[in-house]
Structure 1
Amino acid sequence: MKVLPLLCLVPLSITGSHARPSQHGPKPSFLTPRTIHRDWNAPRSDDGGFLAPRANPISPQAFNARRSLEYRHDLYNTEEASTLDKRAKSGQWENLNGSMASYPSPVSWGGNRMDLYYMGTDNTCQHKYQEGGNWGSWEDLGGSLDGPPSTCSWGKGKMDVYVKGQDGGCWHKGYEEEKNGWGDWQDMGGDLKYEPTSCSRDKYYMDVYASGHDGQCWHRKYDDKDNGWGEWESLGGYLDSPPKAVTWGSDHMSVVCKGDDGGAWHRKWSDNGGWGDWEDLGGSVDGAPSACAWNGRVNVYVKGDDGACWHREYKDDKWGNWQNMGGELKYPPDVVAYDDKMEVYITAPDEAIYRRIWENDKWSPDWEYMGGSVASKPNPIAWDNGKVDVYGMGTDGGCKRCYG
């Protein structure tokens, strides 16, 4: 296995009245060679784990059960969504209320439609949407969740939600506007250690990825042109985080994760070559990596064990070196790419959101203070021709939105 070369670049400075999060100098720990060495590309069997019948499965009837509408409205819609004071020159905050036990997951199928999902304090999946600027009330989608939902859209009027159930299985619920809206929750099987992730590379395909208790990365594909859902496929590996799946188009997918050796790992699929090998990206990672894919590039962002934000880019069929972007992170970062731009968001120890922007082939020099009072990783999304929203779980347990 070829180990890719690593290099620490000089971090950029932070200036301005909100000169937080603080900069980190490059600490040796992030780039120090690791002591655990495994062959990620050696064949592995299921060992009767991921695909075995679960010990205490939840029945589809129980997973689809809902409590009373009156109870739901009182719990999640205590007041109308309100706009908070403007906290930064580039955006303002809006309180969307709710009673959250996970960070929110946004998705847009295009135009001025935005949908939000999260796991409530009662472990149900909650949904809210706006179309043209007016948010509806929170809608109870039921379920019995054990982690944040993953969402993707595979065309106008189509979106799907994937969750880890409290029985450890992967559950799925689909929405199709032309087929009377929501279907039932469907048990997809598996034995998940963390929440699943999903992506759609064009209007015919959805792909779901999960980390099993066996440490392997598992994949399942939906093909709308062929036979619907395929079987679970093992991609091997030794994961210590949920996988993150990204795509730049119908001919590509990339999966990134944290390995049990503490480093970042990557595996790529192409339509003409299938799955490549796992690649060791190195580093010493705290939490799950984030990534985006655009114009033939893959950009990976992590929280290092030194607390700083680190970045590595795949471009022109090769990986560059790790770049220390500084900052002081409370949770892993997240990123969104659009129109040849990237925006990276972090939550600092002061519970405010900060961002840096890649534009015109260079980074903004400083972390920009966005304000807020957030108790989760930020979750950004680009939508409606260049708009960027950022969502997070507030310190009061409500859903917060920052928009420009």
Structure 2
Amino acid sequence: MFYYGYMAPSMMPMNQFAQLGPDERERQASVQQILQKIRRENYDLYRELDRYGMNQVITNYVFTLVIGSTINASTANQTAEQIYRQFQQQYPWMNLFFRQFNIPQNVIDRILLRVIQLTLDEIRGGQPGPGPGPGPGQGWIGWEDLGGVLTSAPGVSSWQPNRLDVFVRGTDQALYHKWWDGRQWNDWESLGGVLTSAPAAVSWGPNRIDVFVRGTDNSLYHKWWDGRQWNDWESLGGVLTSDPAASSRRPNQLDVFVRGSDNALYKKTWNGSRWEEWENLGGNLTSEPAAVSWGPNRIDVFARGQNQNLIHKWWNGSSWSNWESLGGILVGGPTVSSKQPNRLQVFVRGTDNSLYMLEWNGSRWSDWQNLGGSLTSRPSAVSWGPNRTDVFARGQNQNLIHLYQNR
């Protein structure tokens, strides 16, 4: 069953291995070195496949094929996703092979993409190529475990430098709040409600926080901190098919974005005195939106498109742009933050469950960067200063995890 194509040195008679040319012997030795490192440092991949009945010998064989294919393709400076597509074409029987063990396709994709990325990281010696590179690096610190038991992605806001407010849905479907006060993380507090989505949070001024969620009737609900107390939930209507997203262009103004029942993007605005009617901004979204404002009359909105890619639409002060595609392969929706005017950092969960970042530097978009981690939700991000970005997500133990950049 197992002897298709490439054969690892460990499966090859020694006299046959000795007959290989020097380049091929070196290549197969490299395959084994990388395989041993993956087995030593990422044994969770073996444990996960073992739960489906794949023993270590079979897993070694599959990983050897993946590593060998990655080494062959690495000189073309391709991304992990591109190499994985080539691997599937080279070994079309592989999915049928996995199916004998009843392994779900999303598990297969995630594990093999992870092996490809680990191989690329090893080949490139820690230097990022044109596609996702190793992480975190580049001033990123983390991940740290902040506890809790999350049943949603987190939402985060900041109302002053060195202040963070994180919101999640708990196991009782209520809203929970944890905050950094500049010195320490405070304990979780329950803010009530019955949520059917992850929360979104935004601040438009000192000591002000607005939180939005989807309720049990699929309407948008709003709760806010006015500097002294949390106000009761209010219903803002609508029919949501996603988590909400929120941004603020100026003090006492809010823009909330959701996916509607037709998969289009919808916006509801608080103009300082009243809530305006829902506005249809079009598109065909396959995730919740993400939104941020970096200036008094600027909004940038992101979502996952029909091809699982990142799509982008923006308000320039007078009109909305068309949607543009920024590529990538997203698992769930994106998040976005801005450290200063005309600067954007977009974060997504990739097919290997790592955190990936795409940056706008004021004139062009960067390549995707791999910041590592093992996420089980979409990320959430905020910036509280010109050199600071904080990213949160749900981790492998349903806990809150945190990564930050300070440069």
Which category describes the TM-score, using the shorter chain as reference length? Answer: 0.5 to 0.7
1:231 correspondence with 2:277: yes
Q: Does structure 1 retain, via aligned residues, the 8 Å contact 2:337–2:389?
A: no
1:171 lines up with 2:212 in the alignment: no
Counterpart in 1 of 2:209? 159
Could you say if the C-alpha distance between residues 276 and 204 of structure 1 is closer, same or farther in structure 2, counting changes exceeding 3 Å? same
The one-letter code matched in structure 2 to 1:248 is W
1:289 to partner: Cα distance: 3.2
CA contact (8 A) 1:289 1:303 kept: yes
| Structure (1/2) with the larger helix percentage | 2
Residues 266 and 167 (structure 1), Cα distance of their counterparts in 2 relative to 1, 3 Å cut: same
* Pair 151,30 (structure 1): closer, same or farther in 2 beyond 3 Å: farther
Query: What is the 5 A alignment of 1:108-257?
Result: 108-177=158-227, 180-224=228-272, 227-257=273-303
**1:173 touches 1:183 (CA, 8 Å); kept in 2?**
yes
**One-letter code of the match for 1:103?**
A
Shift in Å, 1:298: 4.2
Q: CA deviation at 1:259?
A: 2.0
Q: How many residues align?
A: 283
Amino acid at match of 2:249: R
Counterpart amino acid of residue 149 in structure 1 = P
Once the two structures are superposed, what CA deviation does each residue of 1:157-216 show, in whole Å capped at 9, x if it has no partner?
Answer: 111001112221111101101xx4111111111111110000112213111000012111
Contact 2:285 2:304 (8 Å CA) reproduced? yes
Residues 295 and 29 (structure 1 numbering): CA distance in 2 closer, same or farther, change over 3 Å?
farther
Structure 1 distance, partners of 2:381, 2:268, is 25
* Contact 2:219-2:235 within 8 A present in 1 as well: yes
In 2, distance between residues paired with 1:142 and 1:379? Answer: 21
CA change 1:100–1:264 in 2 (3 A) is closer
CA distance in 2, matches of 1:126, 1:281: 33
Contact kept in structure 2, 1:30 and 1:306, CA below 8 Å:
no
AA at the equivalent of 1:395: Q
Distance in 2 between residues matched to 1:292 and 1:91, nearest whole Å = 17
Unmatched segments (≥5 aa) in structure 2: 1-36, 46-66, 86-135
Aligned to 1:268: 314
Cα distance in 2 between the residues matched to 1:385 and 1:102: 29
Residue of structure 1 equivalent to 2:367 = 323
Q: Partners of 1:206 and 1:90 in 2: how far apart?
A: 30
Q: CA deviation at 1:237?
A: 1.2
Residue equivalent to 1:63: none
Contact 2:353–2:376, Cα closer than 8 Å, also in 1? no
Where structure 1 has 5 or more consecutive residues not aligned to the other structure, the ranges are 1-16, 32-86, 328-344, 352-373
What is the TM-score with the length of structure 1 in the denominator? 0.60
SS in 2 for 1:228: coil
Conserved in 2, the CA contact under 8 Å of 1:379 and 1:390?
yes
Aligned counterparts of 1:95 and 1:311: Cα–Cα separation in 2: 24
**Bigger relative contact order, structure 1 or 2 (CA pairs below 8 A, ≥6 apart):** 1
Deviations 1:190-248 (A, max 9, x none): 11111000011221311100001211100011122xx3211111101111111111221
Give the match for residue 82 of structure 1: none
- Classify 1:376/1:280 alpha carbon distance in 2 versus 1 (closer, same or farther; 3 Å): closer
Q: Distance in 2 between matches of 1:165 and 1:265?
A: 27
* C-alpha separation in 1, matches of 2:205 and 2:359: 30
After superposition, give the CA deviation of every residue in 1:102-139 in whole Å (9 maximum; x if it has no partner): 23322210034322210001100011224242443322
After superposition, where does 1:68-83 map in structure 2 within 5 Å?
Answer: none
> 143, 149, 157: which is aligned to 1:99?
149
User: What fraction of aligned residue pairs are identical, expressed as a percent?
Assistant: 30
Aligned partners of 1:346 and 1:378 also within 8 Å: no
Work out whether residues 173 and 186 of structure 1, in 8 Å CA contact, stay in contact via their aligned partners in 2.
yes
Rounded Cα–Cα distance in structure 2 between residues aligned with 1:300 and 1:402: 14
- C-alpha distance in structure 2 between counterparts of 1:193 and 1:398, whole Å: 25
CA displacement at 1:95 relative to structure 2: 4.8
Deviation at 1:98, TM superposition (A): 2.5
Normalised TM-score (structure 2): 0.59
- Residues 212 and 114 from structure 1, CA distance in 2 versus in 1: closer, same or farther, beyond 3 angstroms? same
Give the aligned residue type for 1:264. Answer: L
Alpha-carbon distance in structure 2 between the residues aligned to 1:283 and 1:106: 24
CA distance in 2, matches of 1:324, 1:250: 28
Name the one with the larger strand percent. 1
The answer to whether the 8 Å contact 2:348/2:378 transfers is: no
Would you say 1:259 and 2:309 are equivalent positions?
A: no
Q: Which one-letter code corresponds to 1:97 in the other structure?
A: G
User: 1:58 — aligned with what?
Assistant: none
Give CA-to-partner distance per residue, 1:335-355, whole Å, 9 cap, x none: xxxxxxxxxx443xxx3xxxx
Do the aligned partners of 2:194 and 2:216 also contact (CA within 8 Å) in 1? yes
Alignment of 1:30-109 (within 5 A): 91=141, 95-109=145-159
What CA distance in whole angstroms lies between the structure 1 residues aligned with 2:291 and 2:193?
Answer: 24
Q: What is the deviation of 1:290?
A: 3.5
Contact 1:29/1:306 (<8 A) preserved:
no
Distance 1:97 1:305 in 2: 24
